[in-house]
Structure 1
């Protein structure tokens, strides 16, 4: 006997439909009741009623996709109820492939007629299933099963074309499953959902229809993208080799799924034979290791980018085996790691980011994204090194300035002495001063001495010669020359102007 679920928030409506079923003796074997959305979903999944009477307003919009997936999966006869006689409610009923739309208040005669007809239809289906000996699921219509898919001895008979559909976001597979169930295939395939892919097994005659399998794949991909944002990729095992079993085609098509690593999503890839991968040396040669160390130490971004692009973009068939390519990328990361340690960058947050990049190299599905992530990280390391060097320069120059401020009036103060104080070579220290301050060491020292001289000229009556000595100039004539070059007038004129 068939079963029915009455799902309505109003207890009177549920009791009324139940009373009609009993009083008119409509022969439903089991009657289930649901007063909430969650109860309705639980009953659909665990009791699988043959008919459901569903109040549309009970289901939240956020749960609508789940409802459609469950209805596609269990295929009950759907009757919908609503108090709103609107086009929107009618469209919701159409989305669920509802057999009838009941407007509240419900009419008993309508309920009796529709539920009786649905009950008779369910009984008829039950007799047909008993005649065939089993329920006709999609898989059974095309004589395909999970055992045939996975087990080498799963049947061994030749199979028709096989299509594997894979989304970039596997959590959206219920939505894809509903899309495939509703898709108007010429000959409906067996649809076998798996955790990260959905397998579609076609009857052999499908390949002989007016639409070829590659055309079917392109059309299916186009229609999916017209209404969904999640990228989809398809692998089709064409089935031109009649002796291959479903398991053999599954093995070859599964391997071909790895092609998305090179070609990305939104692609239809057709195969007839196993994928052939090219062989590569996954480890960097000693010469390549030296090249990488040089590029990193020089901070040469353009060289790093060109090397990565030359190695990993614009690859052509036969593609290198993805696993070997990932090992090669980790070999590059090993050189990056050495660079980090040599520059003292192996601490959080760069250390945490390194581990994230390592995970990306191992598991990210698309090659070009891996390359971009690696380049961005390497450039961030170079920025950190540059910032560290700049900070180091400022610290060294500031330390030198503080030393010079206590020693500038010593006529014997020299570049070599200050460089020795900050533990740098004279040539390197001179370059640091120039790059940080924009003036030479000699100009920096003279500026300090001239500042002291200006103060002594203004605040004392000391002779110019004495002021030159106290400011650190060993020669009064040289002092006057430097003073005039800096201020445009001689020390004596400067004093007279200050007095006046």
Structure 2
């Protein structure tokens, strides 16, 4: 009967796997456990277990050479476990000639099935020479080593499936879904840090139509059970290459199509993606256009410019990295706009950095464009509000100036406009917009108000009141007074005496 070593830092994991072996009657003669590297070494040298279930994360960097020597010497069947679905962990498994890579957490049913299979292989003593992560001589099964090592010829070309979730932390959940999925031709599944690779053994001359149907059904079934967006690439090269690494590199390029199409898509690819090369930087003319559009604050014009530049409907698409550079080039013009209006601080500055991060790392183009546009809209609104406040402040400054000098008969519109550093025409228009009256009407309102006070509260003559309120001619004063108040200066004063 074969024996097994369960090496894991987590006591609950060790006890749980041991209990599963016993309760499911998996026929291992001895079940050993180890919580440290030292205990692994001692167990292998003392008991030479036939199967090792090893947590990769427990092995320190200085302990790898020792572990590899032990595996080479005693040749156990190795299963490696990890909670990190990364390329580094996969390569560590390859170095140990591991039979399988096990992503935590695993279901008890999966654990039982795997350990039963390993036990049966050891009992039967098939004599197959095991190599990196699952390939046995004579067994037509792809491996991590073939996937990542150039020049590793396979027996024939392999169609590939690349599955990628928007949230990579849920890839273990996707892996379990794929492992349990009822494929007609079950693929070899190789989980990576950013995607899960499915390698099919289809015999059709052109397997892509079949792969397309598989992809559509798989996407539909995933979305019926889970809410996380999934992107699928189904790839089979026209070149008929037998180099799985080259096939994988070409297929992984196709994952970037989601940058244009979004998730919840199946992309069927038969050749390497040919991106269009573009100059990512704004031309001087485009820079001037952006300065003008921002200055004008025309949101619709800004939106249409962005849509024309970045919403692509047909292939070939521009290389995504170049588009990100182009978006940062636009953001540089926005930055100039911010600085010109003193908005490069506080929450606006935080928003700028947030948009910059979105441009660099967001996987979907339309989301980047939308976030950039929303940020620009908020900037335009802030500048418009800033200008409105400045205009209000300018009118208030002008009114205070007029209130201090309305008794001057020579006070003119040009004097007030000069005081607020604006042209007479601009100031006159702004005053009419904000106050609803002209400069002359405002001036006469202030003069009439003061004239009424003087007539009611003092014994000054009408001619003296006219002089004190900015009128050189008493008759003209009386005419304007009657137009504005409906009575004459003398009648108003007589009403006081009654």
TM over 0.5: yes
Query: In structure 2, which of residues 420, 423, 429 is the aligned counterpart of residue 422 of structure 1?
Result: 420
What displacement does 1:124 show? 3.7
CA contact (8 A) 1:189 1:200 kept: yes
CA contact (8 A) 2:159 2:199 kept: yes
* Distance in structure 2 (CA, Å) of the matches to 1:163 and 1:404: 78
CA contact (8 A) 2:159 2:207 kept: no
1:8-41 deviations in whole A, cap 9, x for unaligned?
xxx9xx9xx99xx8xx9x975127799xxxxxxx
| Cα distance change, pair 45–138 in 1 and its aligned pair in 2 (3 A) | same
| Cα distance change, pair 209–282 in 1 and its aligned pair in 2 (3 A) | closer
CA contact (8 A) 2:208 2:268 kept: no
What displacement does 1:311 show? 1.4
Helix, strand or coil at the partner of 1:444: helix
CA contact (8 A) 1:2 1:122 kept: no
* Distance in structure 2 (CA, Å) of the matches to 1:278 and 1:493: 87
Helix, strand or coil at the partner of 2:376: helix
Q: Kindly tell me the number of residue pairs found equivalent between the two proteins.
A: 424
| Cα distance change, pair 73–436 in 1 and its aligned pair in 2 (3 A) | farther
What displacement does 1:218 show? 0.6
Question: Which residue does the alignment assign to 2:430?
Answer: 432
CA contact (8 A) 2:359 2:368 kept: yes
* Distance in structure 2 (CA, Å) of the matches to 1:195 and 1:4: 27
* Distance in structure 2 (CA, Å) of the matches to 1:176 and 1:129: 34
- Residue ranges of structure 1 left out of the alignment (5+ in a row): 6-10, 35-42, 51-66, 79-96, 98-117
| 1:83-232 equivalent positions in 2, closer than 5 A | 123-128=119-124, 130-134=126-130, 142-205=140-203, 212-232=210-230
Query: In structure 2, which of residues 481, 484, 495 is the aligned counterpart of residue 483 of structure 1?
Result: 481
| Cα distance change, pair 277–467 in 1 and its aligned pair in 2 (3 A) | same
What displacement does 1:138 show? 6.7
Question: Which residue does the alignment assign to 1:30?
Answer: 31
* Distance in structure 1 (CA, Å) of the matches to 2:478 and 2:417: 28
* Distance in structure 1 (CA, Å) of the matches to 2:432 and 2:248: 68
Question: Which residue does the alignment assign to 2:408?
Answer: 410
Question: Which residue does the alignment assign to 1:71?
Answer: 106
CA contact (8 A) 1:238 1:271 kept: yes
What displacement does 1:232 show? 0.6
What displacement does 1:231 show? 0.6
| Cα distance change, pair 142–443 in 1 and its aligned pair in 2 (3 A) | farther
Helix, strand or coil at the partner of 2:190: strand
| Cα distance change, pair 138–211 in 1 and its aligned pair in 2 (3 A) | farther
Helix, strand or coil at the partner of 2:277: coil
Q: Give TM-score scaled by structure 2 length.
A: 0.75
| Cα distance change, pair 362–277 in 1 and its aligned pair in 2 (3 A) | same
* Distance in structure 2 (CA, Å) of the matches to 1:364 and 1:212: 32
What displacement does 1:137 show? 7.2
Helix, strand or coil at the partner of 2:203: helix
What displacement does 1:131 show? 4.7
Question: Which residue does the alignment assign to 2:386?
Answer: 388
1:50-74 deviations in whole A, cap 9, x for unaligned?
9xxxxxxxxxxxxxxxx99533599
* Distance in structure 1 (CA, Å) of the matches to 2:152 and 2:461: 111
What displacement does 1:4 show? 10
What displacement does 1:183 show? 0.9
What displacement does 1:129 show? 6.2
* Distance in structure 1 (CA, Å) of the matches to 2:225 and 2:371: 30
* Distance in structure 2 (CA, Å) of the matches to 1:453 and 1:210: 94
1:368-416 deviations in whole A, cap 9, x for unaligned?
1111111111112211211221222222222222222221111111222
Query: In structure 2, which of residues 350, 354, 357 is the aligned counterpart of residue 356 of structure 1?
Result: 354
- Residue ranges of structure 2 left out of the alignment (5+ in a row): 7-11, 36-52, 59-76, 80-101
| Cα distance change, pair 239–287 in 1 and its aligned pair in 2 (3 A) | closer
1:144-202 deviations in whole A, cap 9, x for unaligned?
11121121122354332100011111111111111111111122211111111111111
| Cα distance change, pair 199–207 in 1 and its aligned pair in 2 (3 A) | farther
* Distance in structure 1 (CA, Å) of the matches to 2:365 and 2:280: 15
| Cα distance change, pair 208–469 in 1 and its aligned pair in 2 (3 A) | closer
Helix, strand or coil at the partner of 1:265: coil
> Mean alpha-carbon deviation: is it higher for 458-467 or for 188-197?
458-467
CA contact (8 A) 1:192 1:198 kept: yes
1:272-308 deviations in whole A, cap 9, x for unaligned?
1111122322222222222111111111222111111
Question: Which residue does the alignment assign to 2:457?
Answer: 459
- The Cα RMSD (Å) is 3.6
CA contact (8 A) 1:256 1:275 kept: yes
CA contact (8 A) 2:133 2:144 kept: no
What displacement does 1:132 show? 4.2
2:473 paired with 1:472: no
> Mean alpha-carbon deviation: is it higher for 131-140 or for 210-219?
131-140
| Cα distance change, pair 264–427 in 1 and its aligned pair in 2 (3 A) | same
